Amino acid sequence: MNARHTVPPLALAAAVAALGATAIGIAVATAASQNPTNAQPGATSSWTQAKTPWGDPDLQGVWRYEATIPLERPARFEGRESLTDEEVKESQRRENEQAEQRLAGAEGAAVGRRSVAESPIRGNEYNSFWQDHGRPRQVYRQTSLVIDPKDGRLPYTPDAKKAEARATARYGVGPYESYLDPDTGERCLTDGVTALMWQGPNGGHNRIVQSPGYVTILHEEYLDRRIIPTDGRGHGSIRQWFGDAVGKWEGSTFVVDTINFIDRTNYEWASVFTRPSETLHIVERFTRTGADSMEYRITVQDPTTFEKPWTAVIPISRLSDATQIYEYACHEGNYAMTNLLAGGRADAAKRSR
């Protein structure tokens, strides 16, 4: 996982600066959340899948990714799909300690790193105020969200790998010559279909509301929204940022098939999630595993970017019923865009002197 997936700095800062609603809201919501489950997914044995009044499996509630698992397997775990008992215990101890430090207001702790120096982004302190990790993050045995391929790494094509490296090198560095240069998050557009589900600290609350024939996901981030029909209709032909999604129930699993993405991101540094190519095909599978736990499994196929399909298994947690989704007025308060462009001009003037 690239740092930018968890820390897009400018737009979010703008949103919170504009309203304060997100930051305040999350603080309230997570304080109300109870009983962090540090257990493995699977949870309670007495749990049974509830149904909606019209008979669909009930996935409703506010969900959020709270685990520590990186998207791709870090080098230090090469060849290992699972952590040992001792590693889980030690990692959870650190997470709990860090949560305490966050509550105590320790510098660096707020951004989910042990110190400011560990952060990959300059100006980290500036970013930290809108980030919210809530309760201690949960440690799972999984060493990467990617479970297929077996090495836990995204199977980029050589060209896509180079593009990804260039993008990473440029992130937070610029140059920023126009509004087309920041990434889609900083432009208050989106962070992309799947990333919204597992960007925990960035206002990563997602409310699922069901109605007959539809599952609707309201993402707090960017006010993004997916209205997924489950009435058996086929794909439409219109390309969109969020593609064209159709859903169906397979037993208790909600399966979403999405194609017809459009690439209007303009910039190379957009990640695979925010720069969907027109050949992208995502299949998502939502399966509740307990009262407060869900397995979110995505299979991504895109010959333009990947040599073969890959699959990630992402545990997400249900927050307490008191948790609300708040208004994420990103574009309405994107003062950061103006400031970023002013900074770009100042940089250009300095270079030309």
Partner 1 sequence: MRSSVVGVVVAVATLTVATACISRSGSNSSQAFQPARTSDGKPDLNGIWQALNTANFDIQAHAARPALAMMPAAPRSGVAGLVRATHVELPHPSVRLLGAVGGVPAGESVVEGGEIPYQPWAVAKKKENAEHWLERDPEIKCYMPGVPRATYMPFPFQILQGTDKIVMAYEFAGASRTIHLDKVPDSPAPTWMGWSRGRWDGDSLVVEVTDFNEETWFDRAGNFHSDQLHVTERYTPTSADHLLYEATIEDSKVFTRPWKIRMPLYRRLESGNKLLEYKCVEFVEELMYGQLGVVDPATGQKNK
The closest of 300, 72, 113 to 192, measured between CA atoms, is 300
Q: Is the dihedral of CA 85, 86, 89, 90 positive or negative?
A: negative
Residue 175 binding partner 1, by CB under 8 A: yes
From 13-21, 131-139, 142-150, 159-167, span contacting partner 1 (CB under 8 A): 13-21
The residue from 223, 255, 283, 291 that contacts partner 1 (CB under 8 A) is 223
Closer CB to partner 1, 60 or 157, in the complex: 60
- Backbone dihedral angles phi then psi of residue 110, each to the nearest 5 degrees: -65, -25
Distance CA 261, CA 242 (A): 6
3 state SS for 146-210: EEECCCCCCCECHHHHHHHHHHHHHCCCCCCCCCCCCCCCCCCCCCCCCHHHHCCCCCCCEEEEE
Closer CB to partner 1, 67 or 228, in the complex: 228
The residue from 53, 79, 105, 251 that contacts partner 1 (CB under 8 A) is 53
Residues 106-145, interacting with partner 1 (CB under 8 A): none
The closest of 110, 316, 305, 75 to 194, measured between CA atoms, is 316
Distance CA 209, CA 218 (A): 8
* Least distance from partner 1 to the Cβ atom of residue 244, Å: 9
The closest of 192, 179, 204, 168 to 4, measured between CA atoms, is 168
* Least distance from partner 1 to the Cβ atom of residue 311, Å: 27
Distance CA 75, CA 83 (A): 13
Residues 235-254, interacting with partner 1 (CB under 8 A): 236, 238, 240-242
* Least distance from partner 1 to the Cβ atom of residue 275, Å: 14
From 87-95, 145-153, 203-211, 280-288, span contacting partner 1 (CB under 8 A): 203-211
Element containing residue 30 per DSSP (H, E): helix 21-32
State the amino acid at position 70 in one-letter form. P
Q: In Å, how far are 5, 61, 64 from 29, measured between CA atoms?
A: 23, 13, 12
Closer CB to partner 1, 55 or 79, in the complex: 55
From 109-117, 122-130, 251-259, 333-341, span contacting partner 1 (CB under 8 A): 333-341
Residue 34 binding partner 1, by CB under 8 A: no
Distance CA 54, CA 22 (A): 33
Residue 260 binding partner 1, by CB under 8 A: no
From 73-81, 130-138, 178-186, 310-318, span contacting partner 1 (CB under 8 A): 178-186
Residue 17 binding partner 1, by CB under 8 A: no
Q: Which residues bind partner 1 (CB under 8 A)?
A: 19-21, 24-25, 28, 52-54, 60, 175-181, 187-190, 207, 209-214, 216, 218, 223-225, 227, 229, 233, 236, 238, 240-242, 264, 322, 324-327, 329, 331-332, 337-338, 341-342, 344-345, 348
